[in-house]
Structure 1
C-alpha cells in the first residue's frame, strides 16, 4: 500500500508549513489525485486519517479531487478522455496515447487558522 508512504510525505509538507508559523491550526487540506496516478483516493484518505498517529491531519477536513485522464492519440493526434492507459481513442479507435492529464498527485492547498 504505497498510499501510506504518500500520506507520510503529505504530513511532512504540512509539518514544514506549520513550523513556519507555530500557532497555526490546520483546518483543511486539498489534494489532487489524478485518475491515472495509480493512487486509490479512498486508501489515501484512510492513510491520512488513520496511518499517522497524533497528527494535525486528524482534525482537518481532507478534500481529494480526481482530475480525469486525458491523452493525445498517437495516430490521429486528437485528445480523448481516458480511464486507463489501455483505452482506445474515442475518435479513430486506435490504441496508444501520450498522457497529457490525469497523473497529478499534489497538495493543492492548505488552510490554516
Structure 2
C-alpha cells in the first residue's frame, strides 16, 4: 500500500540486536485516495454523503464539484469526470472556498463533513 523501506535508514534505538527499519509512505497520485479510502473503511466512515441543496449558496456545478471533493477525488479526476479542464475546476474551487469561508481543500472537506453530519 505504498510503504517502502528506506535504504540506509535502519536504527538500533531499541537495542543492539533490534534493527528497526524506517519506512516511507508514498501518497502521490491515486495512492493518496486509495490510502484514505482504506483508512476510512477501517473506521466505518464514508466520505460521500449527499450535500444538502442550497449549501453555502453553491451553484449546481459548485455543489457537484464539492460533492466530488468529498469523495476524495483529485482535481484531475474531478475535471475528467465532469469533462472540463483542471483550470475550470480550480476556478470553481476558488469560488467554493470563498463561499464556504475556507482557505483550502482540507478545510473545505472538514466543513463539508460537518455540514453533512459525517462522524
With normalisation by structure 1, the TM-score equals 0.26
Higher strand share: 1
Higher relative CO (Cα under 8 Å, sequence separation at least 6) belongs to 1
Whichever of the two has the greater Rg, that structure is 2
Higher helix share: 2
